[in-house]
A and B are shown apart, each in its own frame.
Chain A
């Protein structure tokens, strides 16, 4: 489990949820962070949100009566997972640059 790579979608969802956002907010934020490269599709995002809630990496906030939109936020476990993933990504980058002399 500790050695598993996160998908790009999950990585950007977790990063986006360091502040509370609703579904569409996550899509917009991931697109902004990646300079327009990552466009999460709604069906994929919905499935990922449900899996992440089940794993306890994110949680949904109590619903606001004035808005029908559900907001989500990262949990402590989710943050730890992100930190491990960032270490893994650094390793990938380090090795790539060393070997290709980047």
Chain B
């Protein structure tokens, strides 16, 4: 019996998404496939699996990503699904605590990758949005509402960047004291 749940997480809340997926596993629902705002679960023993997600350096089918995935599988992690360059992994809790990163440096590197991706999306949307709105304004084109949609995406994304930077600052502070 598979259960499908539709739920939206912003990319900067990936840690909340991860926690939700772990909570689901603790309740006896293990993730078996993912899509856009779509999560598919199967029954498992409560707490049988831990779940982690990661943004890859490259596209999923890039040889480097495939090499990384087989490296992860060697350590007992199982690749259950992907969305764009995000991979979703699970590992049996009987094989020990499931973490992808064990130091601040690699956590910061991963965050940097996410920040860079969000910045490029935000920059493109702000640029297109403002350009279109100005075009409407100066050349009295017929109202181009798409510009406002881009602007809204850009502004929401800016809040996301701010949240991500705050997460990174906390990690950097800890890194000054601990390894």
Which single member of B54, B70, B97 contacts A43 (CB below 8 Å)?
A: B54
Partner-B contacts on A (CB < 8 A): 7-9, 22-24, 27, 39-48, 68-70
- The 8 nearest A-B residue pairs measured at CB: A43-B100, A41-B102, A41-B99, A44-B106, A42-B75, A44-B102, A44-B101, A24-B74
Instruction: Collect the chain B residues with CB atoms within 8 Å of residue A40's CB.
Output: 102
Least Cβ–Cβ distance between B41 and chain A, in angstroms: 24
Instruction: Collect the chain B residues with CB atoms within 8 Å of residue A44's CB.
Output: 100-103, 105-106
- 1/0 contact trace for B46-89 toward A, CB 8 Å? 00000000100000000000001011101111000000000000
- 1/0 contact trace for B14-26 toward A, CB 8 Å? 0000000000000
Is B109 among interface residues, defined by CB-CB distance under 8 A?
A: yes
Could you list 19 A-B pairs, sorted by A, with CB under 8 Å? A8-B103, A8-B179, A9-B103, A22-B74, A23-B71, A39-B96, A39-B97, A39-B99, A39-B102, A41-B99, A41-B106, A42-B71, A42-B75, A43-B100, A43-B101, A44-B106, A46-B71, A47-B106, A70-B71
